[in-house]
Amino acid sequence: MSKRPPGDSTRAVHGGERAHQQSDAVTTPIYQTATFWFPNAEELKAYQEGRLDREEYGRYGNPTWRAVERKLCELEGAEQAVLFASGMCAATTLFLALLPRGSHLVVTSDCYRRTRQFIEQYLTRLDIETTVIDPSDLKQLEDALRDDTTLFFTESPTNPYLRVIDVARAAEICHRRGTALVIDSTLATPVNHQALADGADYVLHSATKYLGGHNDLLAGAVVGSASRIAPVRQALGVLGGVIDAHAAWLLLRGLKTLALRMARHNENGLRIASWLEGHPRVRQVWYPGLASHPDHKVASSTMRGFGGVITFELDADLESTFRFTNACELAYVAPSMGGVETLIEAVALMSFWDRTPEERARLGIKDGLIRLSCGIEDYDDLVADLEKGFAAL
């Protein structure tokens, strides 16, 4: 009889730590040090020759964040993981590590604005050409791939419209052309979707969000096979976007309740989305768990839950949208997502205020667009808070 693999919560609590403790402590310590000493030249020589696995300098490794990396590997089914100071640092380091000068990148139209900004302002300096496609149009993906296409980078679900990619089919298309597939799985988490198992080559997380879960840290991560992660880790050592030991410890602590928190986020997200869809002042709701979402079929067949982020459009102008968010008292008006506290934002104001109305329209950012990140509060309290927003319209 084969041994049953441990469940999500068991791996989240014990993964990457129990067999690696250097003392009798139940929890991994915070190794607050910039460097690590060698007792003699012989041990240093063994380390330099690769015969000894240990830490040397804080930019290359730290036992606290090694524990986080091991835990992420167990949760994602990965061979290796590498931590970063932020999710954006994870994305930019991955791009710089993997994209040769003059290469080709494919990305989706619905994505985090700072990712788009890095591509437009910095990758173009390396003569890297980018093709933008619709998130779920695999025919567009197939047509966009070229002999020099190095990466297809996409979120799944995307931000802010929560489009969901058929990762297995996308991987098949990419691999036929020798292109690597990168999935930013920040909004899914390994609890709701393990993209590596569906064929993705890299999975990226802004660990600031659901993985940390408490709005108290900045972190990022990339996971994958050992051979694929190696150049990304090498680039981190050069570029220096390393996570602080204390932030890594907070992330380690947050990960232990990931499966429990995601169950509540999933529950609140689906119930609130369903409630919003029936509200007379809501024009449209985007949530993969709803049958009305364009990618509901794919999401239902590939994801175990749909998360706590909901995007919806009010039947309102921009000023009325501001009144809606101002009237909410339980939900914090704040960027980000994935924490235990509910956050709300008028997307045009929070993330795209520097764009003209015409530019926002081209990007699909409407004046009445709201992004709600449901926390783990009680459902009835969240509904009552949103009702205050509707009353202010």
CATH number at residue 232: 3.40.640.10
Distance CA 222, CA 267 (A): 27
In a domain, 34, yes or no: yes
What integer pLDDT is reported at residue 349 of this predicted model?
77
Task: Note whether 308 and 199 are same-domain residues.
Answer: no
Per-residue pLDDT tens, the chain, 393 aa: give them. Answer: 467 888 888 887 887 766 666 667 888 999 999 999 999 999 999 999 999 999 999 999 999 999 999 999 999 999 999 999 999 999 999 999 999 999 999 999 988 889 999 999 999 999 999 999 999 899 999 999 999 999 999 999 999 999 999 999 999 999 999 999 999 999 999 999 999 999 999 999 999 999 999 999 999 999 999 999 999 999 999 999 999 999 999 999 999 999 999 999 999 999 999 999 999 999 999 999 999 999 999 999 999 999 999 999 999 998 999 999 999 999 999 999 999 999 999 888 766 666 666 667 776 778 889 999 999 999 999 999 999 999 999
Task: Note whether 270 and 227 are same-domain residues.
Answer: no
What integer pLDDT is reported at residue 21 of this predicted model?
61
Task: Note whether 293 and 383 are same-domain residues.
Answer: yes
Contacts of 386 (CB under 8 A, 6+ apart): 272, 276, 328, 331, 372
Domain hosting 27: range is 8-255
Domain boundary among 218, 236, 255: 255
Task: Note whether 199 and 264 are same-domain residues.
Answer: no
In a domain, 387, yes or no: yes
- Does residue 112 carry a catalytic annotation? yes
In a domain, 1, yes or no: no
- Domain total in the chain: 2
Distance CA 103, CA 63 (A): 36
In a domain, 3, yes or no: no
Domain boundary among 255, 285, 316: 255
In a domain, 87, yes or no: yes
- Does residue 122 carry a catalytic annotation? no
Q: What six digits make up the tokens of 135?
A: 């998130």
In a domain, 23, yes or no: yes
Task: Note whether 207 and 339 are same-domain residues.
Answer: no
Residue of 8, 110, 166, 184 with catalytic role: 184
CATH number of the domain enclosing 278: 3.90.1150.10
Task: Note whether 268 and 224 are same-domain residues.
Answer: no
Task: Note whether 22 and 88 are same-domain residues.
Answer: yes
Distance CA 245, CA 122 (A): 29
Q: Please report the beta strands in the chain, taking only residues with DSSP state E, as ranges in sequence order.
A: 80-84, 104-108, 129-133, 149-155, 180-184, 202-206, 220-224, 282-286, 309-314, 332-333, 343-346, 369-373
Task: Note whether 51 and 127 are same-domain residues.
Answer: yes
Residue of 11, 70, 163, 209 with catalytic role: 209
- Does residue 304 carry a catalytic annotation? no
What integer pLDDT is reported at residue 162 of this predicted model?
97
Task: Note whether 229 and 318 are same-domain residues.
Answer: no
Task: Note whether 189 and 331 are same-domain residues.
Answer: no
CA 278 from centre of chain:
29
Residue of 66, 70, 71, 112 with catalytic role: 112
In a domain, 76, yes or no: yes
In a domain, 16, yes or no: yes
CA 287 from centre of chain:
17
User: Are the CB atoms for 290 and 296 separated by under 8 Å?
Assistant: yes
- Is 371 strand, coil or helix? strand
Task: Note whether 248 and 274 are same-domain residues.
Answer: no
Domain boundary among 255, 284, 311: 255
Residue of 59, 253, 264, 283 with catalytic role: 59
Task: Note whether 185 and 72 are same-domain residues.
Answer: yes
